[in-house]
Amino acid sequence: MKTELKFESAPSIATELMVVLAADASTSKDKDASAQPVLLTKDSAIAGADKPVLTSGEFNASICEALLLHSPRELKSKRLLIIGLGKLSKVSVQEIRKAAGAAVRFAKPRGIRQVTLILPELEAVSLPAAARAVVEGAFVGDFDPDTYRSDRKDRSIEQFTVVAPTAADKKSVEAAFREGGILGDSQNFTRALVNEPGNVMTPTIMGERAAAMCKEQGLQCEVHSTDKIKELKMGAFWAVAQGSDEPPALIVMRYEPPSAKKDGPVLALVGKGITFDTGGISIKPADGMEKMKYDMAGGAAMLGAMRAIAQLKPDVRVIGIVCAAENMPSGKAYKPGDVVTAMSGKAIEVLNTDAEGRMVLADGLHYAKQLGATHLIDAATLTGACVVALGMVNAGVFSNDDATYEHFHKALEISGEKFWRLPVEDEYRDMIVSHIGDITNTGNSRWGGAITAAMFLKEFVDETPWIHLDIAGVAWMEEQKPWIAKGPSGVAVRSIVEWVRSYAK
Ligand code: BES
Ligand code: ZN
Ligand code: ZN
């Protein structure tokens, strides 16, 4: 999808589809009061164009509601699509991002290849913020997961144009527009990786995709396999990997801007890259097991984030680490009751081989510290318990340090992604005490499973400021929405990038 930003008068632009956003300006608290849709543009030709339809009661401007008009008299465009943002008093960048995605998803099945969207003029949302959101949203809407359909028609939008008012501050709108493109495109890069089936996306292939991306983006990259993992004494990572015929991959990416201060922070992004999670010897039920191809979504998020960072060039050093392995049952697989020694020297008693994500991350986090990380963030489809706690709306976020969490919380305000903080407290530590070794890889009861998993990771993080993202419930969209297809969501990429940028000068 090519993107373009124009500072022009929208009616004179020839395009297949012009999109204008609308909101419901009615203020009555009475639920039954009729909506008062208004178009969010100061362009009088457009604003006045569709009075009859706006007052007909057929269109309420509710969130992502769409209304299509053909051959609008006042415009050069072939069609005019009006998309609702809901109540005017509640409109934020979130609704704008979704509306842009919905516009793209409206156009695609109709064979429309050019979409032009008029930036909404609102008091509550600045033009740069809106510009960024619409581009992000358009990319998100443009992704479809049917890669392997034999009759697939590539319905990708060829050209997405944003029209800003001529009076806008060009520089800031342009910068935001560019950022939105980088972030949306990188989110889709992650989604494409997560979408791949387990037979295609093996740890080796994940390593190759990472290396290719790094080469393209000018990042340093090393991909290690079995020998190095053993040499580094990554006993927890290897325990998981040893059950598969597919060799593991330890992906290490580096972004080192020359301008970054020598004694400045070094941020490490550590991702769970389980390319397929059968559960291992503690095997999962057959029902739904096919979904476990997305158990590398945390790792893929780190690849997407590194890709965006390489393009946005923040003034801070970043290391990306992905621990990729396949969790399989076999004659070589690790077993419940096994005791393995992690790279940090801690002895882990394996109670359940399906709690493999925390095993690979234990060594990934420790390694990140060895490489000089001052701040850690990890992302993983770690626990079903997190899905029980938060459903498929919010992901879980954990932190051992309020200041670091504050950086992430601010990042969420920009990214618009939904994460809910859950506790990391010593009282939970009792639940992972081992009688034979140092810690167990699952809690001693099923309660608080997302928290005991976080407590396990904390053992390998120690005092280093750290954020843990459990994205099990939100990395895969179980249903399509007007603005996004069913399938991989690419969650966490945008928030991680904003978190990183918050440490730049
Ligand atoms: N990959 C799963 C977690 C998961 C569940 C991801 C649902 C996406 C959707 C993880 O490796 C796992 O199996 N965790 C176990 C841990 C348990 C054995 C302590 C779980 O959550 O059941
Ligand atoms: Zn598992
Ligand atoms: Zn898993």
Rounded average pLDDT over 400-406: 98
- Same domain, residue pair 193 and 266: yes
Residues with catalytic function = 284, 358
Residue where a domain stops, chosen among 168, 197, 221: 168
Does the structure show a pLDDT above 80 at 30?
no
The answer to whether position 136 is within a domain reads yes
C-beta 50 within 6 A of ligand 1: no
- Same domain, residue pair 309 and 163: no
- Same domain, residue pair 149 and 285: no
C-beta 387 within 6 A of ligand 1: yes
Contacts of 433 by beta carbon, 8 Å cutoff, 6+ apart: 439, 440, 444
C-beta 185 within 6 A of ligand 1: no
- Same domain, residue pair 102 and 216: no
C-beta 252 within 6 A of ligand 1: no
DSSP letters for 430-461: GGGB-SSSSEESS-SSSTTHHHHHHHHHHHHH
What tokens were used for 294? Answer: 């997305």
Q: What is the pLDDT of residues 424-478, one digit of tens each?
A: 999 999 999 999 999 999 999 999 999 999 999 999 999 999 999 999 999 999 9
What tokens were used for 411? Answer: 């990042």
pLDDT at position 28: 72
Average pLDDT, the chain: 96
- Same domain, residue pair 77 and 201: no
- Same domain, residue pair 226 and 142: no
Instruction: Kindly identify the ligand whose nearest atom is closest to the C-alpha of 280.
Output: 2
Q: Which domain holds residue 211?
A: 188-501
**Distance from Cα 112 to the centre of ligand 3, integer Å:** 40
Residue where a domain stops, chosen among 168, 203, 218: 168
Closest by CA to 319, choosing from 264, 270, 359, 361, is 270
Please state, for a pLDDT cut of 70, what percent of the chain lies above it: 98
The answer to whether position 229 is within a domain reads yes
The answer to whether position 274 is within a domain reads yes
CATH code: domain of residue 432: 3.40.630.10
Rounded average pLDDT over 146-150: 92
- Same domain, residue pair 198 and 127: no
C-beta 442 within 6 A of ligand 1: yes
Ligand 2 (ion): which residues have CB within 5 A? 277, 354, 356
**Distance from Cα 82 to the centre of ligand 1, integer Å:** 42
The answer to whether position 109 is within a domain reads yes
Q: What is the pLDDT of residues 36-79, one digit of tens each?
A: 999 999 888 887 766 778 888 899 999 999 999 999 888 999 99
Determine the angle formed by the axes of helices 170-195 and 203-217, rounding to 10 degrees.
160
- Same domain, residue pair 244 and 164: no
C-beta 470 within 6 A of ligand 1: no
pLDDT at position 400: 98
Domain count, the chain: 2
CATH code: domain of residue 150: 3.40.220.10
Between 48 and 210, the more confident residue is 210
What is the rounded distance in angstroms from the CA atom of residue 190 to the CA atom of residue 489? 9
Closest by CA to 253, choosing from 308, 211, 225, is 211
- Same domain, residue pair 336 and 453: yes
The answer to whether position 178 is within a domain reads no
C-beta 310 within 6 A of ligand 1: no
**Distance from Cα 422 to the centre of ligand 1, integer Å:** 17
Ligand 1 site-directed mutation target among 328, 349, 382, most atoms within 8 Å of CB: 382
**Distance from Cα 302 to the centre of ligand 1, integer Å:** 20
The answer to whether position 375 is within a domain reads yes
Ligand 1 atom 16, closest CA? 355
- Same domain, residue pair 231 and 310: yes
What is the rounded distance in angstroms from the CA atom of residue 102 to the CA atom of residue 483? 4
The answer to whether position 174 is within a domain reads no
Ligand 1 atom 13, closest CA? 354
pTM, two decimals, is: 0.97
Residue where a domain stops, chosen among 168, 201, 226: 168
Closest by CA to 499, choosing from 469, 456, 474, is 469
**Distance from Cα 296 to the centre of ligand 2, integer Å:** 11
The answer to whether position 318 is within a domain reads yes
- Same domain, residue pair 158 and 199: no
**Distance from Cα 441 to the centre of ligand 3, integer Å:** 13
Helices (H), 277-431: 297-312, 357-370, 384-390, 402-415
Task: Give the number of the atom of ligand 1 that is nearest the alpha carbon of residue 277.
Answer: 1
Ligand 1 site-directed mutation target among 354, 359, 445, most atoms within 8 Å of CB: 354
Phi, psi of 39 (to 5 degrees): -85, 135
Q: What is the pLDDT of residues 227-241, one digit of tens each?
A: 999 999 999 999 999
Ligand 1 site-directed mutation target among 359, 383, 387, most atoms within 8 Å of CB: 383
- Same domain, residue pair 192 and 151: no
